[in-house]
Amino acid sequence: MCILRTSTRTLLTPILLGIFAITSAAAGAGGITGKVTLEGQLLKAKTINMSSEPGCAKLYSTPPTTEDVVVGPGGGLKNVVVYVSAGAPKQTGPAAQPVSVTQKGCRFAPHVVAMQVNQEVRVINEDATTHNIHPLPTINREWNKAQPPGTPPLQETFAREEFISVKCNIHSWMHSYFVVLKTPYYFVSNENGAFTLERLPPGKYTLTNCVARGLWQTVSRSDHLRRRDAGG
C-alpha cells in the first residue's frame, strides 16, 4: 500500500500527467525486471531558483530542475518505487545495510530513497551550508534535526511502513521521499524507468508501485501486476 502525505493541490494534478504503467515485467533467473513508463501529456519539470543560496546555485552550469517527474528515453519514468507487496518470501539472511541520502548542491540525492522498516538511513550533508532534515510522516515519529556543514551523518530508522515526505525548511525547494517498506524486495526505477527485483524465488507475486507527488492517484489504475513467475 502506498501511503502518501500530499496536499489537495497535488491531488488535482494527475490528469495533466497522463498514466504510467509497468509496461513490461520479465521473469529472469531469480528475479523480475521491468520498465515503468509514462504515457500521455507530460508535466514539465520546474526550474529551481536557488538565488537565496549562492553557494549552491554556483554548482550548476544550468539551473537545476525539480525531480518529481523525471522522464527518460521512451517515456521511462525515474524514481518510481516498485516493490513486492504480496507473496514475497520471508526475509532471510543478514540485516539490511544502511541506506544513504546525501544533501549536495542543496538537493537530496537520491530524490527517492527506499528502505525497510527499521533499516538505518544515513543522511549526509556535503554542502557548505546548514540543512535541516524534517520528515513529515503521519504514522511514524516526526522529527526535525539541523545539520550544519562538516557535522557527522544523521542516523535514523523508521518503525512503520509509510511513504514519507521529507523537507529542508531552510531551503524550501529541497524535497525528498523516504519510502519505508516491510519487504526487502524493492527497487527505485532508474533514469530509463527500469527496475530489477533480485533474488526472488519462483512464485506468484503482487507488485505495487509508488510515485511521488501528483501521480499517485493514477496508481490505483495500474498499481497491481500479478505475475506467475515461471523462471528461477
Partner 1 sequence: MKTKISLGAVFLVVTALASPGFAQNAQIGKLRGSAPVGKVLYRRYCVGCHGPQGDGNGENAAWIDPKPRDFTAAVFKCRSTPTGTLPTDQDLFDAITRGFVTTNMPPWKPLTNPNRADLVAYVKTFSARWEKERPGAAITIPPEPAVTIAGILHGRELFQKNDCWKCHGPQGHGDGPSAPTLTDSKDNPIRPYDFATGSRFKCGVSNQDLYRMFMTGLDGTPMPSYADTMQPADAWDLVHFLRTLQPFHTQEAATWRAWLPSHWEEIKAVGPDGGSGASQ
When asked if residue 118 is in the footprint of partner 1 (CB under 8 A), the reply is no
**Who contacts 214 (Cβ-Cβ below 8 Å, separation ≥6)?**
6, 10, 11, 13, 14, 17, 43, 68, 69
Find the part of the chain contacting partner 1 (CB under 8 A) among 15-23, 67-75, 137-145, 222-230: 137-145
Q: For residues 47 and 230, what is the distance between their CA atoms, to the nearest angstrom?
A: 45
What part of residues 35-64 is at the interface with partner 1 (CB under 8 A)?
Answer: 52-56
Find the part of the chain contacting partner 1 (CB under 8 A) among 90-98, 143-151, 177-185, 214-222: 143-151
Sheet holding 107-109, edge to edge: 107-109, 99-104, 121-125, 154-156
Shortest Å, Cβ 152 to partner 1 = 8
Total residues in contact with partner 1, by rule CB under 8 A = 31
Question: Based on C-alpha coordinates, what's the Rg of the chain?
Answer: 18
CA distances from 66 to 73, 107, 169, 206, 217 (A): 18, 10, 16, 31, 20
* Residue among 7, 61, 62, 220 that touches partner 1 (CB under 8 A): 7
* φ, ψ at 120 (rounded to 5°): -75, 135
Q: For residues 197 and 221, what is the distance between their CA atoms, to the nearest angstrom?
A: 22
Binding string, 168-197, against partner 1, x = CB under 8 A? Answer: -xxxx-------------------------
**Closer residue to partner 1, CB minimum distance, 56 or 71:** 56
When asked if residue 129 is in the footprint of partner 1 (CB under 8 A), the reply is yes
Cis ω before 153 (30° cut-off from 0)? no
Find the part of the chain contacting partner 1 (CB under 8 A) among 17-25, 94-102, 109-117, 138-146: 138-146
Contacting residues toward partner 1, per CB under 8 A: 7, 52-56, 106, 127-130, 132-134, 136, 138, 141-149, 151, 154, 169-172
